[in-house]
Chain A
Amino acid sequence: MRKFLCLVAVVVLVFVYLFPYTWMVLSAFRYPADTFAIPPKLFFEISFDGFRNVFRQSVFGLYLMNSLIITLFSVAITMLVATPAAYALVRISRGGTAFLLTVLIARMIPAIALVVPIYIIGNLTRQLDTYQIMIVVTVAFNLPFAIWMVRGFFLDLPANLVDAARIDGASEWQVLTQVAAPLARGGIFATSVFVFVGAWNEFLFALILTSGRTTTATVALLSFRTSQGIEWDTISAGAFMVSLPVIVFAFIMQRYLVEGLTMGAVK
């Protein structure tokens, strides 16, 4: 009986979470008239007009590529900085807490407050509408969170492992690369999934700092809202394509996420 109730709860939850997404996916594959039919149609004619329009009305391929370049570089740089930083914060007790709090406070400043100053800086340095500025901004906004999260996984490692490695002759860098990081691998991958999603979904800065050359896919979706109204099939098809890389990335990392969670139990 309890099992049954659990199952019902799970089904309801999944439905609530997935319904909007499913609706969007369906909208991408049918005519707008079918989307808004009342009562909702269970069966409908499949249409690829939305997808065709996406590529006809904009250089959507370029925008997807822009998103991918900015996101992948941002994730790589964020994790390459966050992992050693988190390790150092675990190993160095003095001043570490103050630094962590500073990092957190920096994170609490709302992005909207920084858009204008960053735009002005970008303008002065002639960096507007470049990959660099988007990557720098994305890394800056994701780094505090990434450091905090990876730090948590390092804290969970038994302290004696680090001691043993130091006695075995490992330098701090070797302790990190050969013992701590491999053991916290699951956690590091989990963090990178979050950073990936955050960077991929970034909208505000892309809207302000890019124009044309490095416009990202999230911003490009906006262009399907025309003065004649919203083209629901087109915008849904675009949104569907924007959502795919996140799902793919999370799927690839899933194996490591599970591994990261079970590692601790073995110890």
Chain B
Amino acid sequence: MADVQLKEIAKSFGTVEVIKGIDLEIGHGEFVVFVGPSGCGKSTLLRMIAGLEDISRGELRIDGRLCNDIAPRDRGIAMVFQSYALYPHMSVYDNVGFSLKLARVPREERDAKVRDAARILQMEHLLDRRPAQLSGGQRQRVAIGRAIVRHPKVFLFDEPLSNLDAALRVDMRMEIARLHQELGATMVYVTHDQVEAMTLADKIVVLDHGEVQQVGAPLELYHRPANLFVAGFIGSPKMNLLPVNVTGSRGRSIQIGSVDVMATPFDIGAAAAGAPKELVLGIRPHSLRVVAAGAAKIPAEVKLVEHLGNETVIKAQLASGAAVLAIVAGDAGLKPGEKVGLTFDRAEAHLFDAAGRRLLRSSETAGGRR
């Protein structure tokens, strides 16, 4: 177990800066997930922690020790790759035991450790096979076994499950969660997959263009996204985003409205006085409710209805032509072409300024966190 500290970490390939000064604290035994769009630098950041990429600028500390110039093998880390990266010319047993052999661990001790790792991952029966004789899920198990046999202080995972099919992915996800509990080790995990991030993480780090957009617990990111990027990235399907105008302000509250959205007051505390003229209103599909036409803040026409059994996905068009998604429980009994009204709870809606930052509600600024 160890903590990991990143201070002003940056990375350039030639003249292109792909990681732009990242500050991050990863606590003892914490499960931290990096998410972000493709090419945002997740793998690069992970590889810098591993020591596979040089650090151009900044400080990396593992367990308090400055690690910038320390070789990967001396950092107390282990890494699992998306492509498994098993040695094809060695048996599973030798794959798992390779690091111990290099470290000149005596044969009996090595054997005990390899078998122990195999037992934890329930792959004792695979030890004599070659990687080519294993299924994708079994290969990933071996790759994880190769990591745990070293008893690393920090586990690094780079999209370990993305080569597996959906059902296996769920199994392995739970397996990794179990391992985290069992071993209590610090884990850093890169993924594209929202569900993996939300279910595994103690803390999610959202990256974009080599910069941290927000760090927080999964539900914190979901309920209080710091900016438009995080709002759009976390949560599936994506949050509906509608441009609105500020039509007036009174005291701590502003009034917003547009062709689509009828005038609605919002309490944004002291910021109300200097609020910009144009904002973006963000409402998650699950926060929209469908009511009778005319009685709601947002008039809409149903375009598409998808019945998923437990819930119904409704695609609707607003007055301006903008499309929104609403998801309601059960069977809504709606048909395409029907005129309806959409309504929402103001506590579940967000306002973003022109720079994309979310405006805090007065409950958040005055009383701090809920």
Contacts and interface: CB of A to CB of B under 8 A. Distances in A.
Are A and B associated in one complex? Answer: yes
A134 B72 CA distance: 44
A249 to B, nearest CB: 24
B229 interface: no
B87 A167 contact: no
A41 interface: no
Nearest to B130: A266
A178 B87 CA distance: 10
A170 B99 CA distance: 8
Interface in B93-133: 98-99, 102-103, 132
Interface stretch (B34-42, B73-81, B278-286): B73-81
Contacts of B47: 163
Determine chain A's interface SS by DSSP, over half rule. Answer: helix
B18 to A, nearest CB: 16
Contacts of B71: 166
A228 interface: no
Given A169-B73, A169-B103, A266-B132, A164 B88 contact: no
Given A161-B85, A182-B89, A167 B79 contact: yes
Which of B78, B98, B132 has the most chain A CB within a 10 Å cutoff?
Answer: B98
A263 interface: yes
A96 interface: no
A141 to B, nearest CB: 32
Nearest to B80: A164
Contacts of B132: 266
B52 interface: yes
Nearest to B73: A169
A174 B103 CA distance: 12
A179 B72 contact: no
A168 B81 contact: no
A168 B85 contact: no
B85 A164 contact: yes
Given A183-B88, A266-B88, A167 B73 contact: yes
A57 interface: no
A158 B83 contact: yes
B350 interface: no
A160 interface: yes
B181 to A, nearest CB: 24
A169 B79 CA distance: 12
B146 interface: yes
A163 B71 CA distance: 12
A174 to B, nearest CB: 6
Interface in A10-66: none
Contact of B99 (A163, A168, A266, A267): A168
Interface string B54-92: 000000000000000001110001110101011111000
Nearest to B102: A169
Given A158-B85, A182-B89, A183-B89, A164 B79 contact: yes
Given A168-B99, A168-B102, 16 more contacts: A158-B85, A160-B85, A163-B52, A164-B85, A164-B146, A166-B51, A167-B52, A167-B72, A168-B73, A169-B102, A170-B73, A170-B102, A174-B102, A178-B98, A182-B89, A183-B89
Interface of B: 47, 50-52, 71-73, 77-79, 81, 83, 85-89, 98-99, 102-103, 132, 146, 150
Nearest 10 pairs of A and B residues by beta carbon: A160-B85, A168-B99, A169-B73, A164-B85, A169-B102, A266-B132, A160-B81, A167-B72, A166-B72, A182-B89
23 contacts: A160-B81, A163-B52, A163-B79, A163-B81, A163-B85, A164-B85, A165-B87, A166-B71, A166-B72, A167-B50, A167-B52, A167-B79, A167-B99, A168-B98, A168-B150, A169-B99, A169-B103, A178-B98, A179-B87, A183-B88, A183-B89, A263-B88, A266-B88
